[in-house]
Structure 1
Amino acid sequence: MTLPVDARVALPDSGDGTQRPAPLVSIVIPCYVATPKQAELLDETLHTVAAQTCRDYEIVVVDDGSPLDVGAITARHAGTVTLRQANGGSAVARNTGIRASRGRYFVFLDADDHLLPQALEAGLRAFAEHPECGFVIGRREEMTYEGTPVPWGVASLPRETWLYNILLGFDWYIIPPSSAMFRREAVEAVGGFRDPWGADDLDFYLRVARAYPAWCYEEPAVTRYRRYSASSSRDGERMLRSIRIVYGRQWPLVQGDPEAEAAFHRGLALLTKIFVDCLAENFSDGVRARNWRRVLRTGFLFAGEKGRAALGLRSWRVPRPSTSGEARHDAVQPPPRQESGRVRTLPIYASDDEIKELVVEWSELLAEKRFAEALSAFPHSTQEYDWTPELLERVIDGYGVVDSDPDVLQEMREDHGVERFEVTTLRGRPDRDELVERSIDVDPRRVDGDDELGWVHYSDVPLNGFLSDLTARFIIRRVGADRLTLEFYDIHVM
């Protein structure tokens, strides 16, 4: 059956009018089916689920706004619940499936991968033997896009049970999602998936692995992963932006722990290199396709990334440590040239929505070209640049780059039909509230911590009436004992 996401999901009945008991395992499959080949792969995936040796499961397929009829595919597979929603990405689709499911355990299966016959049985056995674990992980196999075996092997699974630093350092990775089985309690405790559009798997794994131990087992293999270059993880621009959001969320959690900080920098550097290389591939793809808009865009981004690397700049800068190891509730004061009475503050327990509105106020000051007021109303970090009104305006006009190549910048302006890049207002936009909710991400705060309480990422900063690729970052700072402010950190392409 196919239901809209706002419909009440009926529990399957047993044929005599009574509801079946909740299954042990919920298999959640997000999908976006746009081609006959993708429809064929989804059907193939569902056939592998039907071959499970453990029969105590339910299948929840979430159609993420597919152009083709997903219900026609799932109707051929008995007992499959199909939910349809507007396109929102895999993280949103998985959360839809989580809410509609009833199982005590979860397997998140991609719509083009295979679940091997003993997968559910092996995962449940591992949980029975290791009840302290929040998730268990089995070995994967790999196949080509056509479904044939690959000539290479896969890395062995870790022997450790606490996997947070291993995942953070990208020393090893859970791939694909269906190699793991999760307890419902663990999934619900971390709030399910968040949506950085690309690295939502990594974001989820890090949050679960920080809170729960895991158990890894080599036999039997539980899933077969399909390898092909058209995977969304090959979109260098999207993935660079996404991993930086994910790692930006992790820094407040690892700061002060040398081992975790080392893993943070190691993992971010490795992933940055991987996806900068993907930018080069995307550039070549654009040339072959004569997609000059994409060529211009990826070339601009690639040059910026290589320039940062040549200058030895980190892709994500960490704030300088406090001069004291003790919590300093009065440590953050505006720079001397700022009038402290004009600094915008909120109560320490302000809601995320209140913090988002503070970011909107900053954005509106830029839209009105009140750059000096923006820098006086919000303390600003000197870790990236010694910000001045003139520099802030220049970085915005340079599309996030201080010294943009004039020819590239002019092509960018012509591509967008503008004379210069300027922040534009959110006022009067019918989608204003939706944009604020989607574009401004407030990290979980540590209100009992030291003066740095968390981070805010403001993506898709509006320029000249369109949503750009610029992201502004702010540190949530304590001011005095019971208030907070936003410290402007930087703005650049993410």
Structure 2
Amino acid sequence: MTDDPVTDGTVSVIIPCHNGADLLADAIDSVLAQTYPAREILVIDDGSRDGTEAIATPYAAPVRYIRQPCQGVSAARNTGIQASQGSYLVFLDHDDRLLPHALEIGVDCLAKYPNCGFAYGRHQNIDSAGNLVGRATDGGQTHQEDKLKVSVANDYALMLSGEFPVPPARIMFRRQVFEQIGGFDLALTNSQDYDLCLRAAAQFLAGRHNQVIAEYRQHDASKSSTTAVTRKLAFTLRALQKQWSRVEGDREYRRAYRAGSSTFKGCTDAIFPTNWRPRSSGATGVMLAALRSRSASITPKDGCGTV
């Protein structure tokens, strides 16, 4: 991406939701509280049966409610992309939240660095009740405009190695990214966000900044089954393997690919060995802990994956 894209600076926030009525308002309210207003907040109800519609429909503009038959998170996000009108897109899971300056920072980064296809920052973890857990990731800090630092880079190798922005709310995309690479892969029922990040990073520069912009809800890891975690790992590996034809001829990318493959396979191996205990450090331990936490909220229900 080399040309300065024409943009009107508007942002569409897409919130896919499947049976998430208990936390949906929290997500919507976090977008309404932004210092840089969203042009629209698209709530994509993916066949919910729990009163999601009753939560979303009382909201006035810019909130828009769209219901579709249960098809999974990829289809819900793609519906949001197709229905959206903003120049910039943010995907907020129904159980996560944006911090007040998230959109302002993202727009500022992409406006200042028109050669970037997407920009992302850091997050802090919250528990199921919305209380802060631990410290912000990677030493990030809450919004301080005079201390905003942005690094523009080709993050493809980094993401191949297994380092990618989670949750999706950390990322703001230009619409041009989806016009060029397409939407979320419907063939993947898990790890769709990793797949999208890989495809985006393969063709666009990234703007990384040091601000904490999202809150990532960690559900009780004890609720996540070994099957759910193993399933997520399998799809994560599948997303990575889709990139092999692109990386096999490049030494740096091959090395990063193998590092990522080793980390993901190491997570799988760590689930089953005799007398296994969770590791407190290292790429495998960190990745596995995150997978166990998030898998508690993504286990398929009623024949359709939760969002």
* TM-score of the aligned structures, taking structure 2 as reference length: 0.77
Letter in 1 for 2:85: R
Distance change in 2, residues 1:193/1:131 (3 Å): same
| Counterpart in the other structure of 1:458 | none
Q: Secondary structure at the match of 2:178?
A: helix
Structure 1 SS opposite 2:153: coil
Match of 2:24 in 1: 42
Question: Partner residue of 1:217?
Answer: 209
Letter in 1 for 2:168: P
Match of 1:244 in 2: 237
Residue 25 (1) aligns with residue 17 (2): no
Change (3 A) 1:234 1:77: farther
Alignment correspondent of 2:180? 189
Query: Using the alignment, how far apart are the partners of 2:103 and 2:262 within structure 1?
Result: 35
Stretches of 4+ aligned residues off by more than 6 angstroms: 231-234
Higher relative contact order (CA 8 A, sep 6+): 2
Q: 2:13 touches 2:38 (CA, 8 Å); kept in 1?
A: no
Match of 1:164 in 2: 156
**Distance in 2 of aligned mates of 1:151 and 1:216:** 22
Secondary structure of the corresponding residue to residue 233 of structure 2 = helix
Helix, strand or coil at the partner of 1:155:
helix
Measure the CA separation in 1 of the matches of 2:265 and 2:236: 8
SS at match of 1:245: helix
Pick closer, same or farther for the CA change 1:233–1:105 going to 2, 3 Å: farther
Residue 224 of structure 1: how far off its partner (Å)? 0.8
Identity %: 35
What are the superposed Cα offsets for residues 282-313 of structure 1, whole Å, 9 maximum, x if unpaired? xxxxxxxxxxxxxxxxxxxxxxxxxxxxxxxx
C-alpha distance in structure 1 between counterparts of 2:226 and 2:40, whole Å: 28
The answer for unaligned runs of 5 or more in structure 1 is 1-21, 281-494
1:341 matched to which residue of 2? Answer: none
CA pair 227-275 structure 1, distance change in 2 beyond 3 A: farther
SS at match of 2:207: strand
Distance (whole Å) between structure 2 residues aligned to residue 62 and residue 206 of structure 1: 24
Q: Distance in 2 between matches of 1:153 and 1:233?
A: 27
Q: Summarize the alignment of residues 92-241 of structure 1 with structure 2, pairs less than 5 Å apart.
A: 92-156=75-139, 159=151, 161-170=153-162, 172-195=163-186, 196-219=188-211, 221-228=212-219, 229=221, 230=223, 235-241=228-234
Matched to 1:29, the amino acid is I
In structure 2, the CA distance between the partners of 1:241 and 1:97, relative to structure 1 (3 Å rule), is: same
Name the SS of the counterpart of 2:182 in structure 1: coil
Contact 2:48/2:70 (CA < 8 Å) preserved in 1? yes
Aligned in 2, Cα 1:197/1:140: closer, same or farther, shift over 3 Å?
same
| In structure 1, distance between residues paired with 2:9 and 2:48 | 28
Give unpaired runs (5+ residues) of structure 2.
1-7, 141-149, 274-307
- 1:232-311 aligned at under 5 Å gives the runs 235-278=228-271
Q: Classify the secondary structure of the residue corresponding to 1:252.
A: helix
- Cα 1:226–1:131 change in 2 (3 A) is same
Match of 1:314 in 2: none
Q: TM-score, normalised by structure 1?
A: 0.49
Say whether the 8 Å CA contact 1:234–1:275 is kept in structure 2: no
Check the 8 A contact 1:112/1:226 in 2, yes or no: yes
Q: 1:257 to 1:232 in 2, by over 3 A?
A: farther
Contact residue 27 and residue 59 of structure 1 kept, 8 A: yes
Cα distance, 1:39 vs structure 2: 1.5
Distance 2:102 2:200 in 1: 21
Query: For residues 266 and 191 of structure 1, do their structure 2 counterparts lie closer, same or farther at Cα, with a shift above 3 Å needed?
Result: same
Shift of residue 198 of structure 1? 1.0
Secondary structure, in 3 states, of the residue corresponding to 1:253?
helix
Measure the CA separation in 1 of the matches of 2:225 and 2:184: 17
Q: How many residue pairs align between the two structures?
A: 253
CA distance in structure 2 between the partners assigned to 1:232 and 1:27 by the alignment: 31
